[in-house]
Structure 1
């Protein structure tokens, strides 16, 4: 499971997008961008961030370090901004900390990654059904001359249907992926070889290791998935099924 730290100070909100993440200091002397459990998107966004972010790291992409950060009640109590105070109050407990990259700037295409790295990014987004990597919203940073992948909460959309319809891996396996608007569309050169290269790395063992890093407290049970163990198994089953059906989604 991801390392757990404790928040000691709320620094500033990041008012970009709808989730209102914030910069916080941790008791590990680090500065972190925190994505809160009490935000409107809910816990499943944090789960997707961990699973897809750690898959990206395993495939050789650069991803800021992830930790679990515990937000104590007293931080919320003394926050002056009412909107932030409400969010912190709703987020007491375990939240997601993403390493703050000081001086990083948004990706604008001026310095693209290599064709292989671009293909890895596109392939991972197709595999995890991450539609949120477009020129309008790249969710990429440039830092120290490298391209860094961030913000994977929009991926793994299938888990949003679990409270009502349960887990159906065959549906996710068959879901196509439109790569025509992907930010890396003009950079990649050999997508078929990317699939051959990357699909062999995504084993059931790797998926098990990645899913195991998600805290139990973020895995919301349902009638069909009554405990954390069964929820983890459902994530693995959906991803294994999709990997076995590349004709439906693999970008070309």
Structure 2
């Protein structure tokens, strides 16, 4: 696989099109100054910038592994948007999201992946299950698959619920080595029969240098809050070391996934 250092473009949001009222974070379809439509994820929503960090890291790791993810971009939001919005809830969301947000290229016409309609091959299913075990992504269930079918191809979206260790920062070294117990609820677990093969392939791709390059994309102001838990560089280092440790300990989550699949 040819490797290119990850980079994200930055766009300016010029038009708020419509809210997407799925879930509690109220993402929206918005237009950028490049004339493309995006699904805009707001820093002022629910879990704040931590959801954006998880989205960025999860999406770019998935892309590095060869899985299809809509292009991620940084999205600047001007204060003027909040002043012109009639809906008070959305107005507050826009007001608290002024500055740098994250957006995914909008896949017009895409439909939600339905496992009853589309059967994925075992290799792809195993790749996605392995990825979600690495990221501790709890949000790929039959109730909400967070996958889309677009032009007859499967695309992964919404990794904002991943990396839940960063909501507390406590014992992250220990958490990095834990199995991912929630894999039992994964929508693709029953198809994931090639986890050992995928484990070998993906560990060869996800070198510490490549993980660090992805983590280094996180903007400084997403890594600064009132808690005082480290500088931006120190926090980036924690994300990098968490992922590097988890990859090195992948046998733990692979075994847990295999045991859970045997009970499906």
| Equivalent in 200, 203, 207 of residue 203 of structure 1 | 207
- TM-fit CA distance, 1:139: 0.5
Q: Deviations over 1:26-78 (max 9, x none)?
A: 10111011010000211100000000100000001000000010000111111
**2:185 is equivalent to residue 185 of structure 1:** no
* TM-score (norm. length: structure 2): 0.90
- TM-fit CA distance, 1:25: 0.5
- Higher mean alpha-carbon deviation, 189-198 vs 102-111, is at 189-198
Larger RCO (alpha carbons 8 Å, 6+ apart): 1
**2:75 is equivalent to residue 69 of structure 1:** yes
**2:91 is equivalent to residue 58 of structure 1:** no
Q: CA RMSD in A?
A: 1.4
Distance 1:57 1:155 in 2: 16
Distance 2:180 2:140 in 1: 16
**2:12 is equivalent to residue 3 of structure 1:** no
Which contiguous aligned blocks of 4+ residues in structure 1 show a shift greater than 6 angstroms?
Answer: none
- In structure 2, the partner of 1:101 is 107
Distance 1:63 1:237 in 2: 24
Stretches of structure 1 lacking an aligned partner (at least 5 in a row): none
Stretches of structure 2 lacking an aligned partner (at least 5 in a row): 1-6, 259-264
- In structure 2, the partner of 1:47 is 53
Q: How many residues align?
A: 248
Distance 1:176 1:188 in 2: 15
- In structure 1, the partner of 2:240 is 236
Over 3 Å counting, the alpha-carbon distance change for 1:176 and 1:97 in structure 2 is closer
